[in-house]
């Protein structure tokens, strides 16, 4: 059986080639996450926060960096083609939504994990931050990387339907969802409607689970079942939606307009 492994890896390879030759992927990985982390850490010092509280905030800063970088890589699977106006050439080949999404996500996993390790080391050296047990770290990091996959797929879906004018959501969507999922505060501090919304987003549960490792009480029960369960449902739905969006963009001519 001829598995489409090379088709998947083509997108990993392209994201890598772009990343090694351009400054912005480097800034995304190091500069912006480090700025966020230092600001939060220093604010913690200024407010004389106890270690537990400081950890709560630093977790938010670290995961925000991981999420943003990984979801951008998934979004880049289409955006690089849109910006280069080469989408027509790419989709001429016998590829499916699974190939470009998974291929780009693989590179996102590498970049996201590097961000996690770098920020973890930096916050330990600068602010005395310590990670909880390895199983909690691994499970919640896997959850965040999966949530980034969902966000990236969502961006790709809208780009296929509405083209380049909508590419700004690649940078806004993760920030908005972090706001709703309680990146720097428990979600119970949000207005009721947003608490309800937060329960629909897997990130809420993965953040809760990670903070459990520092002794913070759970707001919602069974965070891992809910987090991974919702992820599975969203990934399944989004792959279907991407297939439909691809068909629609071929029908409407959007696929061609994106190449002009």
Partner 1 sequence: MEYIIKTKSLSKTYTSGFWGRNKTLALQDITLSIQQGELFGVLGPNGAGKTTLLNIFSSQLIPDSGEVWILDKNVTRKFDNAVKNKINMISGNPNFPWSLTVEENLNFYAMLYNLNRTERKKIISECIDMFELNKFARTRYDNLSTGTKQKLALAKSLINSPELLLLDEPTIGLDPDISQKIRKMIKRFQEERKISIVLTTHYMLEAEELCDRIAFIKDGKILALGTSTELREITKTNTLEEAFIELTNK
Identify which of residues 165 and 221 has a Cβ nearer to partner 1 in the complex: 165
Q: Cα(71)–Cα(37) distance, rounded to whole angstroms?
A: 19
Q: Cα(19)–Cα(227) distance, rounded to whole angstroms?
A: 30
Identify which of residues 14 and 211 has a Cβ nearer to partner 1 in the complex: 14
- Cα diameter, the chain: 61
Q: Which segment (15-23, 129-137, 161-169, 170-178) binds partner 1 by CB under 8 A?
A: 15-23
Taking CB under 8 A as the criterion, which residues in 55-84 touch partner 1?
80-81, 83-84
Q: Should residue 239 be labelled a site residue for partner 1 when binding is judged by CB under 8 A?
A: no
Helix and strand element counts for the chain (H, E):
12, 0
Least distance CB 13 / partner 1 (angstroms)? 6
Task: Give the total of residues touching partner 1 (CB under 8 A).
Answer: 35
Residues in the chain, total: 260
Q: Cα(9)–Cα(142) distance, rounded to whole angstroms?
A: 20
Q: Cα(112)–Cα(152) distance, rounded to whole angstroms?
A: 13
Identify which of residues 124 and 247 has a Cβ nearer to partner 1 in the complex: 247
Q: Cα(213)–Cα(206) distance, rounded to whole angstroms?
A: 11
Q: Which segment (10-18, 35-43, 194-202, 233-241) binds partner 1 by CB under 8 A?
A: 10-18
Q: What is the chain's Cα-based Rg?
A: 19
Least distance CB 55 / partner 1 (angstroms)? 39
Least distance CB 125 / partner 1 (angstroms)? 34
Binding mask 86-105 for partner 1 (x = CB under 8 A): x-xxxxxxxx----------
Q: Cα(172)–Cα(242) distance, rounded to whole angstroms?
A: 20
The binder of partner 1 chosen from 2, 50, 191, 221 (CB under 8 A): 2
Q: Should residue 172 be labelled a site residue for partner 1 when binding is judged by CB under 8 A?
A: no
Q: Are 197 and 227 in contact (CB under 8 A)?
A: no
Q: Cα(221)–Cα(95) distance, rounded to whole angstroms?
A: 40
- Residues of the shown chain interacting with partner 1 in the complex, contacts defined by CB under 8 A: 2, 4-7, 9-10, 13-14, 17-18, 21-22, 80-81, 83-86, 88-95, 247, 250-253, 255-256, 259
């Amino acid at each position: 059986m001829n598995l489409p492994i090379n088709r998947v890896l083509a997108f990993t390879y392209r994201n890598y080639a772009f990343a090694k030759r351009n400054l912005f992927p480097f800034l995304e990985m190091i500069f912006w996450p480090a700025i966020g982390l230092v600001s939060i850490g220093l604010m913690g010092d200024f407010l004389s926060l106890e270690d537990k509280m400081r950890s709560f905030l630093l977790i938010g800063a670290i995961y925000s960096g991981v999420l943003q970088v990984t979801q951008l890589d998934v979004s880049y699977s289409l955006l690089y083609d849109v910006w280069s106006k080469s989408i027509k050439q790419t989709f001429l080949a016998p590829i499916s939504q699974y190939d470009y999404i998974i291929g780009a996500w693989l590179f996102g996993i590498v970049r996201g994990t590097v961000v996690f390790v770098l920020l973890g080391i930096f916050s330990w050296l600068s602010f005395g931050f310590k990670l909880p047990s390895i199983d909690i770290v691994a499970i919640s990091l896997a959850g965040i990387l999966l949530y980034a996959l969902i966000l990236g797929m969502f961006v790709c879906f809208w780009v296929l339907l509405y083209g380049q004018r909508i590419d700004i959501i690649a940078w806004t969507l993760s920030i908005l969802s972090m706001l709703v999922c309680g990146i720097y505060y428990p979600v119970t501090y949000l207005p009721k409607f947003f608490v309800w919304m937060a329960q629909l987003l897997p990130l809420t549960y993965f953040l809760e689970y990670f903070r459990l490792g520092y002794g913070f009480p759970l707001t919602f029960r069974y965070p891992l079942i809910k987090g991974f369960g919702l992820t599975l449902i969203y990934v399944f739905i989004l792959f279907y939606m991407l297939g439909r969006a691809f068909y629609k963009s071929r029908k409407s001519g959007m696929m061609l307009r994106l190449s002009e």
